[in-house]
Amino acid sequence: MTDVAVIGCGVVGAAVAYALAGYDLTVRVLEAENDVACGTTKANSGILHAGYDPEPGTLMARLNLEGNRLAGEICEKLDVPMRRTGSLVIALDPAQLDTLQELYRRGTANGVPGLRLLSGEEVRQMEPALSESVCGALLAPSAGVVSPWEYALAMAENAVENGVQLQLNTRVEDIQKTEAGWKLITSQGEVEALYVINAAGVQAGQLHAMAAPLDFTTIPCRGEYYLLDKSQGDLVKHVIFQCPSKAGKGVLVAPTAHGNIIVGPNAEDLPQADTATTAQGLAEVAEKARLSLPGLDLRTSIRNFAGVRANTDQPDFVIRWAAEGFLDLAGMKSPGLTAAAAVGEYACQLLEQAGLAMQPRPRKVETRKKVRFRELSAEQKAQLVASRPAYGRVICRCETITEGEILAACDGPIPPCSIDGVKRRTNAGMGRCQGGFCGPRVLEILAKRLGRSPRDILQENAGSEILLEQTKQGRDVQ
């Protein structure tokens, strides 16, 4: 019998696991995909929101502010790429100045530090590429950018190193109440737990319905993006938001934690999750983004992608007991990434209030340190290559990622099983050619390390094998 079973290992599930790893508990995390951070977490803006947007008094407001602070601490401790860029919400016409005043009021009530209202001239001095139409802005210095998948992965890895059991490729198919707690019927067998935490993202409603009558509706919302080449990395220094509307925080232009520029998203409600990009959606993103930066050169885009937000018909995060011992962490729309670490701590508080004995225990592993070859000095590189020659073989030329870094990822607490899994851990394939050069080499390294045939190596999830074999009949088979 497990004390706590967590369903889902996106950034929220990973944050819950990370928080629970600090207590003397048995914890099991069940993830349907073959890796962590394979849903909304791997396809979002990567913004650490300051906390001026949520209505004061809501869970969103409280957990956004606390999550922003905790994210800084965790990213420093676990060596996750993160930058405090600050954000600017711009008014593109005088009618939007009232919105800035309202955001300033909310942010002040929420306790957001350093908020300032700026004139059009002041904000254009800070960001010269902005449109001449900008007539004011709200500055939030505490906002930032983070590598979202690495943030989730780092927390999940630390949880595993501190005793949490992670089961990948484990889809929950049914949930039954038992006398002691809950029984989860999964694709990998049964799991019994005293308490269950539902952190299944867009699928959270489906999991809830297995345990209790459904009292919220999930509305998958697709957002499409452009990712620009690092040659555009100095285009803006801050996260640039447009004034928010009911559809969300609008199309943003922002630096990324890795030095690119990200542009998007739009907001399109869908009957079910779908991460396909569309010509119409990308045209909408381009048109709206150029209202902020007329000179935006989208010809420098190296990738388009789409993510799906787990919106619901509820105005706030859905964090509550669906039934005795079954806790929902649903509706983790923006600022869900920012709030994640605080959501993890809040879940621990709710478990303790419900009667679970929460005895703190020292972590066996407190920190994480990654070798990023491209960031080392010439002397450090020479010393590393002399002692570990694999670091002298560059596999990804765009990002200067070495074989040593890929092998280190393969030997980590949660090893990758796909080329995209290596990409999320090392950045190999994230650059200008998007894996065109390094992809075959990563495949070869991964096959050798895993002891598998190259034909069995996946690009991402099940069914995404890359290599095909020609049969005598002329048909391609896996």
Q: Which residues are annotated as catalytic?
A: 49
HSE (CB half, 13 Å, CA atoms) of 155? 34
State the DSSP H helix or E strand holding residue 29, giving kind and residue range, or none if neither: strand 27-30
The token pair that represents 241 in the structure block: 């938001």
Partners of residue 228 on adjacent β-strands: 261, 301
Backbone torsions φ then ψ of 433, nearest 5 degrees = -90, 0
Q: Could you count the other beta carbons within 10 Å of the beta carbon of residue 318?
A: 22
For residue 309, the cross-strand partners are 221
Among residues 287, 292, 291, 302, which one has the least CA distance to residue 232?
A: 302
Q: What is the bridge-based pairing of β-strands 116-119 and 136-140?
A: antiparallel
Q: Is the dihedral of CA 44, 50, 53, 59 positive or negative?
A: positive
Continuous segment of H or E residues that includes residue 262: strand 261-264
Would you call 276 exposed, middle or buried from its count of C-beta atoms within 10 A (0-12, 13-18, 19+)?
exposed
Contacts 24+ apart (CB under 8 A), 275-281: 275/43, 275/222, 275/305, 275/306, 275/307, 275/308, 276/306, 277/224, 277/304, 277/305, 277/306, 278/224, 281/222, 281/224, 281/306
Residue 346 and residue 16 in contact, taking contact as beta carbons nearer than 8 Å: no
**Backbone dihedral angles phi then psi of residue 315, each to the nearest 5 degrees:** -75, -15
Cα separation, 367 vs 163, whole angstroms: 15
Tokens of 360: 């703190």
Residues 6+ apart with CB under 8 A from 229: 260, 300, 301, 302, 432
Tokens of 441: 């080499």
The conformation of residue 373, written as its DSSP 8-state character, comes to: G
Using CA atoms, how far apart are residues 360 and 24, in angstroms rounded to an integer?
A: 6
Q: Which two tokens stand for residue 269?
A: 């409600």
